[in-house]
A = this chain, B = another copy of it.
Amino acid sequence: MPDTCPSAFQTLSVGELAKRAGVAVSALHFYEAKGLIRSLRTEGNQRRYPRGMLRRVAVIKVAQRTGMPLNEIKQALAALPDDRAPSQENWRDLSAAWRDDLDARIRRLTQLRDQLDGCIGCGCLSLTACPLRNPDDALAAQGPGARLLDEI
């Protein structure tokens, strides 16, 4: 009868959490198996989640959108209270770290885009001069035919 308690104490079944969080039930099972979330169990062994779990799953989803793999997300979530609302500080630290990750990813992609821009209409992919090519490739400019490599 915990479900007759005030809403702050109400629990969610796995199906309810899945629907509200916008993920599949199997994904919640999976997250639990991976240790990203935990569940209480009824006498009949069915999962019940405190409402705060909705937020935790939301945090997982946001982190995934940044491109972070689940095991890193798990590390990050370890800093959050298991089933209670995270403090402002918790969240600030987390989101600031993720922001930096994201920023780095954005910088890498932007650099690549700018290089592509520079190479559109060039098409050289020159072993020695093209910024799109791995710098290590320059090492290959040895032996017979080296004078032609730039044309290849």
Contacts and interface: CB of A to CB of B under 8 A. Distances in A.
A152 B51 contact: yes
Contacts of A85: 151-152
Interface string A91-102: 110011011001
A76 interface: no
Interface stretch (A27-35, A37-45, A55-63): A55-63
Contacts of A122: 88, 91
Contact of A105 (B51, B54, B109): B109
Q: How large is the interface on A (under 10, 10 to 19, 20 to 34, 35 or more residues)?
A: 35 or more
Interface of A: 7-8, 10, 19-22, 51-52, 54-55, 58-59, 61-62, 65-67, 85-88, 90-92, 95-96, 98-99, 102-103, 105-106, 109-110, 112-113, 116-117, 119-123, 125, 127, 132-134, 136-137, 140, 144-145, 148, 151-152
